[in-house]
């Protein structure tokens, strides 16, 4: 059966607001690098060097300050090119060895990055949600400094945005970091955003993130086709069309195909309301999918897959070991199953970020929908696939007894080490949990409005 693809949803979605036309104004400014007149008292050199000597196949350049530079090989070409250079800087860079040139480039890049970072820090320093201490940037109330990439991203969101406090990306980044801080492994807060950025993962409004993996379809599953249809239609109606799935119903047509409609009186067997069917997927399915490694895991769309954190391998040097795995569209998951699925995880459930940067290990993830081969490689890169609103239901599970579970995880982590690991104070844990609890109020308010 051919499911409704993302491309179909995108091409037929109803647009409520016209897209704003962006005007691109490209201003070209050319600056003269040479000054026609030097200030009085500065020697007026007619050329950038004092002398040039050719000895055998080497060229020696003497600068006006006495510095001597030597370049071996292709003496004639070197001599000719030196005549065209205008400044001592040009000559130094041309005569330098490859290693020196690399060091010059790296130094320039480092200086540039430092200047850019100073500007980003300055933007956040003057903002009520951030504070600067000992050269590090912090979200107020959280005693764990922001990593460099998050500083960069926050500064871009905040800059020139007077209403950034309600900006969806700002909230997503802020909550993402809060979830990171609740992970007992402090390195996660430093490394995870870097890993997700390089892999082009997508972060959701409530601070979770999306990725891919493959699973094995269980042959005797009765409802596999219907499960795939419901999960695909529900996700695309909500995320691409930005419509309420409660307003749609699923039918089984006389020819056996599944269809969905907002209208009544559709010819076929009414199977139920789209939202209710999606929320009921875990109960509808037998073990629809499993893992390729053990063939024992019960993986169902709409139901969190969990393993004990203590059973996971925390070694970053090991890629394929204990824990649940997920990755981006660059990783070849085909040997690990015949069905691609879109999954969601939250930062506090990350166990290890392997050094090779291919996939990460978590102790819990949430299967959202099945994906065909074409969508597996591109759906998270589609601008119309708005992931910021996708995690409403699953986040409530994560908030349940969050303070208690966080303290238990930190205690478990401490037992694994002979040295003292960084801990969050009880007060700070409470502050983080209370901030994340605001998500419940948002969702309850949304339900009331609907």
Is pLDDT larger for residue 448 or for residue 398? 398
Q: For 408-420, what is each residue's pLDDT tens digit? A: 877 776 666 544 4
Burial class (CB in 10 A: 0-12, 13-18, 19+), 153: buried
pLDDT for residue 31:
31
pTM for this model (two decimals): 0.70
Q: Are 172 and 388 in contact (CB under 8 A)?
A: yes
Q: Taking the alpha carbons of 334, 337, 338, 343 in that order, is the dihedral positive or negative? A: negative
Mean pLDDT of 73-99: 83
Quote the pLDDT of residue 294: 83
pLDDT attached to residue 64: 84
Give the 3-state secondary structure of residue 396.
Answer: helix
Q: What is the mean pLDDT of the chain?
A: 78
- Name the residue among 339, 374, 334, 371 with its Cα closest to residue 219: 339
Q: Where are the alpha helices (DSSP H) in 270-309?
A: 274-279, 281-284
Asked whether the beta carbons of 220 and 371 are under 8 A apart, the reply is no
Tokens of residue 38, six digits: 């030097």
- Residue ranges of the domains in the chain? 51-95, 104-164, 188-218+286-449, 222-283
**pLDDT attached to residue 258:** 93
Render pLDDT for 391-406 as a digit per residue (tens, 0 to 9): 677 888 888 888 888 8
- pLDDT of 150 strictly over 80: yes
What separation in angstroms does the CA of 141 have from each of 102, 127, 128, 130? 42, 14, 11, 9
Nearest of 186, 110, 102, 109 to residue 143 by alpha carbon: 186
Q: Tens digits of per-residue pLDDT, 222-260?
A: 677 888 899 889 988 888 888 889 999 999 999 999 999
User: In this predicted structure, what is the pLDDT of residue 448?
Assistant: 43
Please, is 441 exposed, middle or buried when counting C-beta atoms within 10 Å of its C-beta (0-12, 13-18, 19+)? exposed
Residue 346: which pLDDT band, with cuts at 50, 70 and 90? very high
What CA–CA distances, in Å, run from 64 to 67, 87, 312?
Answer: 7, 11, 65
| Share above pLDDT 70 across residues of the chain, in percent, rounded to a whole number | 78
For residues 159-189, one letter each, b for 16 or more C-beta atoms within 10 angstroms of the residue's C-beta and e for the rest, the string is eeeeebeeeebbbbbbbbbbbbbbbbbbebb
Q: What is the 8-class DSSP label of residue 408?
A: H
pLDDT tens readout for residues 293-307: 888 888 988 889 999
357 pLDDT exceeds 70?
no
């Amino acid at each position: 059966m051919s499911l409704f693809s993302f491309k179909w949803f995108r091409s037929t979605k109803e647009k409520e607001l016209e897209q704003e036309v962006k005007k691109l104004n490209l201003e070209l400014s050319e600056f003269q690098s040479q000054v026609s007149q030097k200030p009085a008292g500065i020697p007026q050199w007619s050329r950038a060097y004092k002398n040039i000597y050719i000895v055998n196949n080497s060229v020696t350049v003497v600068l006006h300050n006495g510095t001597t530079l030597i370049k071996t090989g292709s003496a004639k070409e070197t001599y000719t090119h030196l005549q065209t250079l205008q400044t001592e800087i040009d000559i130094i860079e041309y005569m330098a060895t490859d290693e020196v040139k690399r060091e010059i480039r790296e130094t320039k890049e480092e200086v540039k990055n430092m200047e850019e970072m100073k500007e980003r820090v300055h933007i956040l320093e003057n903002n009520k949600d951030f504070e600067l201490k000992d050269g590090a940037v912090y979200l107020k109330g959280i005693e764990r400094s922001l990593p460099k990439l998050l500083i960069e991203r926050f500064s871009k969101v905040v800059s020139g945005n007077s209403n950034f406090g309600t900006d969806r990306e700002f909230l997503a980044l802020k909550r993402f970091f809060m979830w990171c801080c609740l992970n007992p492994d402090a390195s996660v807060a430093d490394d995870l955003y870097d890993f997700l950025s390089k892999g082009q993962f997508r972060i959701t409004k409530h601070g979770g993130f999306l990725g891919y993996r493959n699973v094995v379809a269980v042959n005797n599953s009765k409802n596999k086709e219907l499960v795939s249809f419901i999960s695909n239609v529900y996700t695309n109606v909500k995320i691409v069309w930005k419509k309420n799935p409660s307003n749609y119903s699923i039918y089984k047509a006389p020819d056996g195909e599944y269809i969905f409609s907002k209208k009544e009186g559709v010819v076929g067997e009414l199977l139920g309301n789209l939202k209710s069917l999606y929320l009921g997927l875990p109960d509808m399915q037998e073990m629809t999918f499993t893992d390729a490694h053990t063939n024992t895991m019960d993986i169902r769309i709409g139901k969190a897959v969990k393993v004990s954190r203590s059973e996971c391998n925390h070694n970053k040097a090991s890629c394929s070991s204990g824990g649940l795995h997920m990755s981006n569209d660059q990783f070849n998951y085909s040997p690990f199953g015949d069905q691609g699925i879109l999954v969601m995880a939250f930062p506090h459930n990350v166990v290890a970020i392997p050094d090779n940067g291919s996939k990460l290990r978590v102790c819990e993830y949430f299967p959202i929908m099945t994906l065909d081969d074409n969508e597996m490689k591109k759906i998270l890169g589609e601008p119309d696939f708005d992931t910021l609103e996708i995690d409403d239901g699953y986040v409530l599970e994560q908030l349940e007894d969050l303070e208690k579970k966080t303290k238990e995880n930190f205690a478990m982590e401490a037992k694994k080490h002979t040295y003292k690991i960084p801990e969050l104070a009880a007060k700070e844990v409470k502050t983080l949990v209370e901030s994340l609890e605001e998500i419940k109020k948002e969702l309850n308010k949304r339900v009331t409005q609907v």
